Amino acid sequence: MTQITIRFKQEVHSFVNTLFQCLVLALVLGGIGGTIYKVISPEGWVATAFGRSFSAGAASLGSLALVAGLAWFSRSWGAPDNRSLFSHFLVYGFAAAGILYLVQLWTRGTI
């Protein structure tokens, strides 16, 4: 009877861990997508910084730089113990941005 209980607890722990990781993944993807949208949208950060006339070229240049930066960060597919503290901050930073964009979407109706 105790082996069944222990096995059940392991399965529940595994299921909860999987749900948490899926939630973190969804928030990270939302954070990355929201950040890209904030950079290249017509009212985005690049358009605000450089003005409307220069926004099309700067937005495309900024989006290319952002994609190149994300590709540079994802170039390593090593074991999890080889990851640096910076990569953890990056992942959870984008997850926090995903939460922020989700709250903005819920309260304002737009990002």
Two tokens at 105? 């979407």
SS3 content of the chain, % helix, strand, coil (to 5): 80, 0, 20
Query: In this structure, is residue 11 part of a structural domain?
Result: no
Query: In this structure, is residue 73 part of a structural domain?
Result: yes
pLDDT tens, the chain, 111 aa long:
688 888 999 999 999 999 999 999 999 999 999 988 887 787 877 777 666 556 566 666 777 788 778 777 776 655 556 667 777 888 899 999 999 999 998 999 877
Query: In this structure, is residue 95 part of a structural domain?
Result: yes
Two tokens at 93? 């930073």
Q: Which of 94, 98, 89 is nearest to 30 (CA)?
A: 98
Q: Write the CB contacts of 95 (distance below 8 Å, at least 6 apart in sequence).
A: 24, 27, 28, 31
Domain span including residue 75: 23-108
Burial of 81 from C-beta contacts in 10 A (0-12 / 13-18 / 19+): exposed
Query: In this structure, is residue 32 part of a structural domain?
Result: yes
Q: How many domains does the chain have?
A: 1
**Identity at 31, one-letter amino acid code:** G
Query: In this structure, is residue 3 part of a structural domain?
Result: no
